[in-house]
Amino acid sequence: MEDTEQVQGLGPADLIALAAATMAIGVAVSAIMIDIGTSSTVVMLATVTAFSGSGELAFAAVILSGGSVAAGLISALLVSSRFGLMAMSIANLWPMPLWERLAAMQLSGEPAVAAALTARNPRTARRLYWQIALAMGIGWVAGSALGTLVGNVIGDTKAIGLDAVFPAVLLGTVAAALRSRDTATAAVSGAMIAVALVPFVPAGVPFLVAALTAVLASRVPAGPLGWRTLLTRGHRGADQAHHDQS
Amino acid sequence: MSLLALAILSIGNAITRATGMFVLGRRAGVNPRWTKLMALVPISVVAAVFAVQTFTSRDQIVLDARIAGVAAASVAVWRKAPMVIVVLIAAGVAAGVRALHLGG
């Protein structure tokens, strides 16, 4: 409460770590794109103009399973539809001129949006958003450039575990959501219904259905969740403050 | 991916983003229920992308070395390790499990 007007931000170590992590994702995605026969030029253009690693991965997954380019594109666009939701959720967080809106919607990513949404005031939201979005954007482009080289050298990106990197990063993004009842409901229900639907609906549709589970979760009141809360009810304030700082 | 496919994907993504930023976002206003919903939607979708990337391949549920990598990484996340450590653990454990032929 007392620091409502204080602008908080991330230090260089955190930002370098974020850039490095995104770089790893960029390497993985571009290596896979090269694997399905994309030219290095198109991969680098896609990195900047599409700005959606998961979209590129979805496209590659369809092509690798023998699907058509049209099916791959539909799948990629559906997976990337969440960037529209992310743009929506930051639209009113702080006052933005037109150029900033255009840049913010193009460079959006889950970690930046999540940080901005949990910020205590608009100026902190703006600062955190741009710190994270730019660190990740730089890492993403650098990683993609490296990936076009790696893709031509390492045939099997799975052998170096690159397919585990993307979900691990996403987990780091949503882990904080598991602390409150409403956000945990949104995360768990979205995850479960999406996996359950994968065998039965076209690629990408599970993400849209998952988005609908948020409507149900929005009926759940916010509040701490878990056994730790039950055991340490009296110390919750201190515990929460500790979490918020790190 | 051809140049044409790239153009379709990029323009499609730009339309999606602009719709969120300029149409849905503007309309949301200050209704607290809308605000809460807007905060929850990305959480549902990110959790869904996480789960799909971890437990499925193409159109099937597939349990393989990724789970070991992600499980190990989740410990690092829980211990609040830096993201780059999380990434290295995820890749290293998944690659290790595959190298030892413990799982696809």
pLDDT band at B14 (very low <50, low <70, confident <90, very high): very high
Task: Specify the pLDDT at position B11.
Answer: 95
Residue A112, in any domain of the structure: yes
Q: Which residue has the higher pLDDT, A236 or A85?
A: A85
Domain total in chain A = 2
SS3 A201: coil
| Amino acid letter, A28 | A
B32 → chain A, closest CA residue:
A218
Q: Is residue B19 part of a domain?
A: no
* Span B49-103, pLDDT tens digits: 889 889 998 788 999 999 999 999 999 999 988 777 888 899 899 999 999 987 6
Residue A36, domain member (yes or no): yes
Per-residue confidence (pLDDT) for residue A143, from 0 to 100: 93
What's residue B104's pLDDT? Answer: 62
pLDDT at A44 over 70: yes
Domain co-membership, A31 together with A132:
yes
A128: left (phi over 0), alpha (psi -120 to 50) or beta: alpha
Number of domains in chain B: 1
What's the domain range around B71? 63-104
A214 and A161 in a common domain:
no
- Give domain status of residue A5, yes or no: no
Same domain, A219 and A145: no
Q: How many CB atoms lie within 10 A of CB A87?
A: 25
CA A48 to chain centre: 16
- Residues A137, A90 within the same domain: yes
Say which DSSP state B80 is in.
Answer: T
Domain presence at residue A243: no
All residues of chain B having their beta carbon less than 8 Å from the beta carbon of residue A166 are 53
Q: Which residue has better confidence, A128 or A1?
A: A128
Is B100 a member of any domain? yes
Residues A150 and A222 in one domain: no
Same domain, A203 and A213: yes
Out of A88, A161, A217, the one facing B94 most closely (by C-beta) is A161
Which residues in chain B are contacts of A38 at CB distance < 8 A? 1
Cα angle B76, A193, B64 (rounded to 5 degrees) comes to 50
Query: What is the mean pLDDT of the segment spanning A215-241?
Result: 62
Nearest Cα residue in chain B from A96: B21
Instruction: Decide which of A112 and A57 is more confident.
Output: A112
Do A77 and A119 sit in the same domain of this protein?
yes
Cα–Cα distance between A205 and A207 in angstroms, integer?
5
Domain for residue B85, yes or no?
Answer: yes
B15-48: per-residue pLDDT in tens? Answer: 999 998 998 887 765 577 877 887 788 788 889 8
* Residue B36, min C-alpha distance to chain A (Å): 6
pLDDT at res. A133: 96
Q: Closest chain A residue to B33 measured between Cα atoms?
A: A218
Beta bridge partners of A233: none
* Band of residue A173 on the pLDDT scale cut at 50, 70, 90: confident
Residue A156 lies in a domain: yes
Handedness of CA B3, B4, B9, B10 (dihedral sign): positive
Q: Does B100 touch chain A (CB under 8 A)?
A: no
Residue A154 and residue A48 share a domain: yes
In a domain, A245, yes or no: no
Flag the least confident range among A41-45, A78-82, A177-181.
Answer: A78-82
pLDDT, one tens digit per residue, over A18-30 is 898 888 888 878 8
Within-domain flag for B72: yes
In this predicted structure, what is the pLDDT of residue A241?
A: 42
pLDDT reading at A53 higher than 80? yes
- DSSP letter, residue A177: G
Would residue B91 count as lying in a domain?
A: yes
What is the ipTM for the molecules in this complex?
Answer: 0.83
User: Which chain A positions have a beta carbon within 8 Å of B90's beta carbon?
Assistant: 161, 164-165, 167-169
Give tens-digit pLDDT for A135-154.
Answer: 999 999 999 999 898 877 76
- Rounded to whole angstroms, the Cα distance separating A220 from A6 reads 30
Q: What share of chain A is helix, strand, coil (3-state, %, to 5)?
A: 75, 0, 25
Domain residues for A100?
Answer: 12-179
- Other CB atoms closer than 10 Å to residue B83's CB: what's the count? 25
Share of chain A above pLDDT 90, in %: 32
The answer to whether position B92 is within a domain reads yes
Q: What is the mean pLDDT of chain A?
A: 82
**Same domain (yes/no): A154, A92:** yes
- pLDDT given for residue A243 in this prediction: 45
Paired sense of beta strands B56-57 and B60-61, if any: antiparallel
Does residue B101 fall inside a structural domain? yes
My answer on whether A120 and A169 are in the same domain is: yes
Above 90 in pLDDT, residue A195? yes
Asked whether residue A148 is domain-assigned, the answer is yes
Verify that A148 and A26 share a domain, yes or no.
yes
Task: Tell me the pTM.
Answer: 0.70
User: Within this chain, do residues A160 and A41 fall inside the same structural domain, yes or no?
Assistant: yes
In this prediction, residue A2 carries a pLDDT of: 44
Residue A230 in this model has a pLDDT that exceeds 70: no
